[in-house]
Amino acid sequence: MSLTRSAATAAAGGNGTGRREPGPRLLASRKPLPPVLAALIARPELGAVVATLAILIFFSLASDSFLTLAGAGVWLESASTYGIMAVAVALLMIGGEFDLSAGVMTGFTALIVGVLTTQIGVNVWVAAIISLIAALAVGAFNGIVVIRTGLPSFIVTLATFFVLQGVDLAVTKLITGQVVIQGMAQVPFYDSIQPVFGSSLTIGSANFYVSVLWWLAVAGLGIWVLNHTRVGNWIYAVGGAPQAARQVGVPVRATKVGLFMTTATAGWLVGMISLFRTSTVQANTGVGQEFIFMICAVVGGCLLTGGFGSVGGAALGALIYGMTFQGITFAGWDTNWLKTFLGVMLFAAVIINHYVRKRATAA
Amino acid sequence: MTEPNPTPTSSPAPGTPILEARGVGKAYGGVVALQDVSMAVTAGEVTCVLGDNGAGKSTLIKILSGAHAPSAGELLVDGVETRFDGPRAALDAGIATVYQDLAMVPLMPVWRNFFLGREETVGKGLLSRLDHKTMRRVTKDDLKAMGIDLKDVNQPIGTLSGGERQCVAIARAIHFGGRALILDEPTAALGVKQSEVVLRSIVEAKRRGIGVVLITHNPNHAYPVGDHFLVLNHGTSMGYFAKADLTVEQLATMMAGDPLDVEGM
């Protein structure tokens, strides 16, 4: 049609001169992404899959007992609680926020149950539900403060982290005179709740904890929500471009507050798992682990800047952590090297992620 | 008006503008941003609004898109006087605005952006899930109809060119019921080739019976695609012209702020 042609020529050369007529395939000239990069953009967890296999093979060669049923039971158990948290932290990170109180939350929730049952005589099931409500309240608080003030969640949750850390120590000491809760196994109905969070299945010499099932369930649920529901679409959007999300009608505030509450709920679940596996809890439980959750999420392909990442990748990031943590012990090396190893891995992951994002948004 | 009380349900007479502004003006406090401006957009036509920075283009968009109510004059939708409570009301009347920032999330796949906030789902209750297949197909087909043939609608929208992203925004507005599109400087940040892509999609929208309001400060972009031209300067209308009454040179001259020399036509 003639109008199309005149539009093209006018756009091309001001007064319709100075430019040749464009070919019919105007858009064919765009440079395609390199295949590896294209795959990483489509599948952010690709790096974590490769790293998981590499580390599995590496420690299997370094130690005879690593790739045995008993060995797998050990590193799976180690990975499971980190994996549950990594899934929630990854969702939050994709949604554009951090939660530095995620680590201390595991101790906070376990201590609530410990104090309520051993000191006040509350039914253990009721105590677990009270603990969950407290966690949800803290999560909602984090989210609402971040939304209302517009402050970075890094600072808001850092404050929550320190407040809870102090409360954990001071209140535990005040009530029990110690910094550890003991005697959980003697509270009524303990035997009815313990298997839900702390039981294990013994196969030969191998022990498989129920926490591994929780990890798989949480990861499956996270993958489902993020990739197959409307809420998942909103999580990507509020992390990637909150202003744009708001413009097209995404409930930005509710999505973000929901993510903080999800992270708190995951903290509660891990708190229950650690409490009922050992029947004891220390007042400083979870402190310092918030960064490990974030490392797992980033190694799994999440961008620190939000809007991009993978729940499955984060779950694998935790598996990498668990395998490395136990693998170093299996191989008989100095476990002090663990953190150095983690740091190197984080560094590599961040550089890859940064490169992917630059290519994805530079066009 | 010949019919004082037109019933909203009756379809308007053919040729009735989808959206019409009659003598609209807007004052913010004591500052007059826009005064006595009239224009209309009809199905299958492109009305261009031209003006330099500060001419009142943004104010006019805000009135047309329902973001601000005019402080003088009236808006008519399908020939019926209307007052928008907000952008949502304008959208419900089929008037969709595509702003310069496009409301897109660069790292999200094209199809997720296309349906963001209005996702298609299958299943009920807890099993309600995104209909990936339908959304991918619709995105691909709608973009193809606009002249953008994407091999993979799963790529992040940030990897598309500026012109292609504009086209996605236009296709999205049409898909979700836009009968009249208000395009805010869609070619402003684009190079020559990318501007072509956008102008072609405007022509395509027009061919499909969509009314387009094209806001621009480039007469060379406006003239080839436009049917009517409103030129703004310092918040007032310098004239509303049909294409037949105007050459691109005259348009450019007016844009420069000189009144049209009618005697010289």
Contact of A330 with A63, CB cutoff 8 Å: yes
Tell me the pLDDT tens digit for each residue of A272-283.
999 999 999 999
Banded pLDDT at B260 (limits 50, 70, 90)? low
Tell me the pLDDT tens digit for each residue of A195-219.
999 999 999 889 999 999 999 999 9
How far apart, in Å, are the Cα atoms of A287 and each of A21, A84, A100, A224, B8?
Answer: 66, 16, 10, 30, 65
Strands (DSSP E) along A235-292, which ranges?
Answer: 281-282
Residue of B nearest to A4 (CA): B200
pLDDT at A230 over 90: yes
Query: CB-based contacts of B203: which residues, under 8 Å, 6+ apart?
Result: A1, A3, A4, A7, B225
Tell me the pLDDT tens digit for each residue of A96-134.
999 999 999 999 999 999 999 999 999 999 999 999 999
Contact: B108, A240; criterion CB under 8 Å? yes
Mean of the pLDDT values across residues A154-177? 95
Closest residue to A10, CB basis, from B112, B159, B224 = B224
pLDDT at A258 over 50: yes
Distance CA B41, CA B229 (A): 10
Distance CA B43, CA A235 (A): 37
Confidence at residue A293, expressed as pLDDT on a 0 to 100 scale: 96
**Chain A residues within an 8 Å CB radius of B153:** none
Tell me the pLDDT tens digit for each residue of A1-10.
344 444 444 4
Contact of A106 with A161, CB cutoff 8 Å: no
Contact of A232 with A309, CB cutoff 8 Å: no
Confidence at residue B257, expressed as pLDDT on a 0 to 100 scale: 65
Confidence at residue B7, expressed as pLDDT on a 0 to 100 scale: 45
Decide if A244 is inside a domain. Answer: yes
From chain A residues 28-57, the ones with a CB under 8 A of any chain B CB are: 30, 33, 38, 41-42
Banded pLDDT at B207 (limits 50, 70, 90)? very high
Decide if A207 is inside a domain. Answer: yes
Confidence at residue A1, expressed as pLDDT on a 0 to 100 scale: 39
Contact: A11, B102; criterion CB under 8 Å? no
Contact: A360, B207; criterion CB under 8 Å? no
Domain count, chain A: 1
Distance CA A147, CA A156 (A): 10
Decide if A26 is inside a domain. Answer: no
Mutate to test the interface with A, among B50, B65, B116 (most CBs of A within 10 A): B116
SS3 of chain B: the string is CCCCCCCCCCCCCCCCCCEEEEEEEEEECCEEEEEEEEEEECCCCEEEEECCCCCCHHHHHHHHCCCCCCCEEEEEECCEEECCCCHHHHHHCCEEEECCCCCCCCCCEHHHHHCCCCCCEECCHHHCEECHHHHHHHHHHHHHHCCCCCCCCCCEHHHCCHHHHHHHHHHHHHHCCCCEEEEECCCCCCCHHHHHHHHHHHHHHHHCCCEEEEEECCHHHHHHHCCEEEEEECCEEEEEEEHHHCCHHHHHHHHCCCCCCHHHC
Banded pLDDT at B261 (limits 50, 70, 90)? low
Q: Of the candidates A233, A184, A53, A102, which has an alpha carbon nearest to the alpha carbon of residue B117?
A: A233
Closest residue to A237, CB basis, from B105, B128, B161 = B105
Decide if A218 is inside a domain. Answer: yes
**Chain B residues within an 8 Å CB radius of A224:** 129
Contact of B168 with B114, CB cutoff 8 Å: yes
Mutate to test the interface with B, among A26, A94, A308, A361 (most CBs of B within 10 A): A26
Phi, psi of B31 (to 5 degrees): -90, 125
Q: Indicate the range of A166-175, A240-249, A317-326 predicted with least confidence.
A: A240-249
Token reading at A87 = 């899934």
Amino acid at B49: V
Query: CB-based contacts of B165: which residues, under 8 Å, 6+ apart?
Result: B102, B104, B157
Per the prediction, chain A carries an average pLDDT of 88
Confidence at residue A10, expressed as pLDDT on a 0 to 100 scale: 40
Decide if A297 is inside a domain. Answer: yes
pLDDT at A298 over 80: yes
How much of chain B, in percent, has pLDDT values that exceed 70?
92
Decide if A27 is inside a domain. Answer: no
Phi, psi of B153 (to 5 degrees): -80, 0
Closest residue to A26, CB basis, from B128, B129, B197 = B197
ipTM over 0.85: no
Token reading at B55 = 């001419």
Token reading at A218 = 């949480």
Mean of the pLDDT values across residues B165-179? 91
Mean of the pLDDT values across residues A293-304? 93
Structural Rg of chain A based on CA atoms: 24
Mutate to test the interface with B, among A3, A19, A221 (most CBs of B within 10 A): A3
Banded pLDDT at B255 (limits 50, 70, 90)? confident
Distance CA A89, CA A187 (A): 33
- The residue range of the domain holding A55 is 45-362
Confidence at residue B258, expressed as pLDDT on a 0 to 100 scale: 63
pLDDT at B9 over 90: no
**Chain A residues within an 8 Å CB radius of B207:** 1
Decide if A52 is inside a domain. Answer: yes
CATH number at residue A212: 1.10.3470
Decide if A29 is inside a domain. Answer: no
Contact of A310 with A301, CB cutoff 8 Å: yes
Contact: B116, A22; criterion CB under 8 Å? no
pLDDT at A81 over 80: yes
Confidence at residue B262, expressed as pLDDT on a 0 to 100 scale: 52
Tell me the pLDDT tens digit for each residue of A21-47.
343 444 434 556 666 666 666 688 888
Q: Where are the alpha helices (DSSP H) in A96-241?
A: 102-118, 124-149, 153-176, 190-198, 211-228, 230-240
Q: Indicate the range of A9-13, A312-316, B162-166 predicted with least confidence.
A: A9-13
Confidence at residue A273, expressed as pLDDT on a 0 to 100 scale: 97
